[in-house]
Structure 1
Amino acid sequence: MTGLRLNLTAVREPLGFIKVIEWLTAIFAFGSCAFSSAAVPHYCPHRLNRVLLVERNGTLCNRSVGETHLIGSGVSSAEFFVATAILAFLYSMVALFAYTGYMHVYRDSAYGPMLDFAGTMILAVLWLAISSAWAKGLQNVKLGTSTVGIRTSLALCREEGLTCEVTQFANMRTLNVSVVFGYLNMLLWACNAWFVYKETVWHSQKYAGQERAGREPVPTPI
């Protein structure tokens, strides 16, 4: 029978329970990166290089300054981070639906656990790569809005006798949290890969081979 059989037992096992945690952490990773960026438009890592530091024909320190933008952007890494979080969220939902409704089909099929293991490993690697990239992108954003970044962006700051200093900084604590959630997701998916691997034929064949080897009679010494 391949019909739907609702059974929540899998959610109480590590295989399904970790998927629930992964579903939640994917939401937090997405929210802490995407929504905090939208809430801070002047320092949004998606569009930092479009933020005007000085408007056209502006005046600073009694000097005329041309239109100047901030330098640096984490647009690519931030967007891929959000995309990975959405992918992990959707994969967790599909996996939980399969575990709770079609576990009898999942465990009777050799391909189900194998595909699940491959998908879990891919997401673990994706989380590692994109979290590292996003951490570097966020560092670039912090540098672009720091005193060093402003001095690099604004030619006026490099003139003799002038000193530029940043006194007001954007709150990026939520973005820092998103990096933490990224690495947390990587650890969760890597750990989950072991429990998915135990459902595959690779593990069952290895275990059966070890069991048969343990039962073989010891040869009688001559």
Structure 2
Amino acid sequence: MCLFAIFAFATCGGYSGGLRLSVDCANKSESDLNIDIAFAYPFRLHQVNFDAPTCEGKRREKLSLIGDFSSSAEFFVTIAVFAFLYSLAATVVYIFFQNKYRENNRGPLIDFIVTVVFSFLWLVGSSAWAKGLSDVKIATDPDEVLLLMSACKHQSNKCLPVRSPVMSSLNTSVVFGFLNFILWAGNIWFVFKETGWHSSGQRHPAGAMEKQSSSYSQGGYNQDSYGPTSGYSQPGTYGQVGEYSQQQGYGQSGPTSFANQI
């Protein structure tokens, strides 16, 4: 992740580009065929000034580009720099301070929270910079800049774009921004597994199964312990039945002998 963070802030923070315009006046002596406009990070375009001919004698007008997109660009670069520093520090802790990292489970919990925060920041920062880059492209479009010149409002003068700014590195910075978001968001699960929340979540079902198995085994043991007693009591029950049958037989013999006597 350190490498991707470096690419993100390097491709954005180190950008410098420019465009070139041509104004061909009806009076050729007043023309300027090479108007160079340079701009760079942090894209405060309203501070980028340039001179353009008015095609009205030797008088020239001072113009500036439109827009200030420094907030989204600086926010994106700041996230990339801090993400790089944290990744570097975390790598050192993982390698050299593994015991302290796992002590009291504070290290994994802090790492988990920071990872979630950086994932959110990468998503917000990349989205904001993608919108900012789109606005920068519009503000630095040569056709849009030509509309700012008063000489280009007259059909007798010819205003043409000579060179457009190259935005490939800025496009790359947006791509690396969203790649960093994917990496940090995917790392949330691996960091979560190191926390106590994941381990405690696995312990509770196991403890519940152990309780169920122990209670089941106790119930089986009680049944076995009562089995011989109940089995022992059954002969006594049969004995009572036998005695009852004997009494019944004795009761029946009385009436029989009485009938014989009669």
Corresponding residue to 2:40 among 19, 22, 44: 44
Q: How many residues align?
A: 195
Cross-structure match for 2:80: 85
1:204 aligns with 2:193: no
**How high is the sequence identity, in percent, across the aligned residues?**
39
TM-superposed CA distance for 1:141, in Å, is: 0.8
Distance 2:70 2:8 in 1: 16
Distance 1:119 1:207 in 2: 24
Cross-structure match for 2:144: 149
Gapped regions of structure 2 (runs ≥ 5): 19-36, 217-262
Cross-structure match for 1:117: 112
Cross-structure match for 2:95: 100
Q: Report the CA distance shift for 1:109/1:165 in structure 2 as closer, same or farther (over 3 A).
A: farther
Which segment is superposed worse, 114-123 or 146-155? Answer: 146-155
Q: Report the CA distance shift for 1:152/1:130 in structure 2 as closer, same or farther (over 3 A).
A: farther
Distance 2:173 2:114 in 1: 22
Indicate the structure with greater strand content.
2
Distance 2:159 2:167 in 1: 22
Give me the TM-score of the superposition, normalised by structure 2: 0.66
Higher RCO, 1 vs 2 (CA within 8 Å, ≥6 residues apart):
1
Q: Report the CA distance shift for 1:106/1:161 in structure 2 as closer, same or farther (over 3 A).
A: same
Letter in 1 for 2:122: W
Give me the TM-score of the superposition, normalised by structure 1: 0.77
Which segment is superposed worse, 162-171 or 101-110? Answer: 162-171
Contact 2:4 2:176 in 1 (8 A): yes
Distance 2:54 2:151 in 1: 8
Letter in 2 for 1:134: W
Cross-structure match for 2:229: none
Q: Report the CA distance shift for 1:183/1:214 in structure 2 as closer, same or farther (over 3 A).
A: farther
Is the partner of 1:109 in helix, strand or coil? Answer: helix
Contact 2:83 2:118 in 1 (8 A): yes
Cross-structure match for 1:32: 11
Alpha-carbon displacement from aligned partner over 1:121-179 (angstroms, at most 9, x marks no partner): 11111111111111111111100111453255345545677775534111110111011
Contact 2:48 2:65 in 1 (8 A): yes
Distance 1:130 1:89 in 2: 15
Gapped regions of structure 1 (runs ≥ 5): 1-21
Contact 1:50 1:70 in 2 (8 A): yes
Which segment is superposed worse, 147-156 or 69-78? Answer: 147-156
TM-superposed CA distance for 1:68, in Å, is: 0.8
Letter in 2 for 1:142: K
Contact 2:11 2:172 in 1 (8 A): yes
Which structure's CA Rg is the greater one? 2
